[in-house]
Amino acid sequence: MSRVRKAILDGTIPDGDRVNEVHLAERLGVSRTPLREALNRLVSEGLLTLRARHGYSVPRLTRASFEADYAIRPILDVAALGLQGAPDAVTISTLEVLNRKFLRATTPEARIDADDAFHLKLIAACGNPVLLELIRTMMLRTRRYELAYFREGASLSAAADQHEKILAALKAGNLERACAALRENLTSGLDPLRQWLDARPATSKGHP
């Protein structure tokens, strides 16, 4: 499943494309039964759709789906941080290390991996495994947009102060301010992606 997921995320299987089970099974050297199980799991993650008589396909990257997907993380992550409360000093120290790794990342994949690691560590002790799994799933769904955005020519830059605001609030023991900073972090940088989606050529938006 990890190979199929990676192929979707890195654009090897472009958005809008149908997945040919026979060809994919041959390429991966697996039988169709475990492949179908993996594809169904990717459907549950939102990385594939399944339609009767049409089979599996990669959802198109659209402005509507972008708005829907990116609206979820600020709700889930802030709820998780609120449940958890301010982390201890050891966790804050680890978050600072992860943030430095984020700022040093030089590829889109490394930048997104480091950002995800920071956010998962921030809320790891929230005590709700279902909530954490939902957040991981939404990370995968939004990663498709971010990798395609960089793949199609966007420059790589880091919002250096975003995580710092969260960390400063946590160090001060101000959970309400930390939650507000987290919400800002997850929403303030979305306009460039909106503009990119609106400007994408029709040939980059998938096909029937």
**Nearest-CA neighbor of 121 among 160, 87, 72?**
87
Q: Is the pLDDT of residue 99 over 80?
A: yes
The DSSP 8-state label assigned to residue 154 in this structure reads P
Mean pLDDT over all residues of the chain? Answer: 90
d(Cα 1, Cα 200) in Å, to the nearest integer? 29
Strand pairing report for 18-19 and 49-51: unpaired
The identity of residue 104, as a single letter, is R
| 132-157 tens-digit pLDDT | 999 999 999 999 999 999 888 777 76
Contacts of 129 (CB under 8 A, 6+ apart): none
| 179-190 tens-digit pLDDT | 999 999 999 889
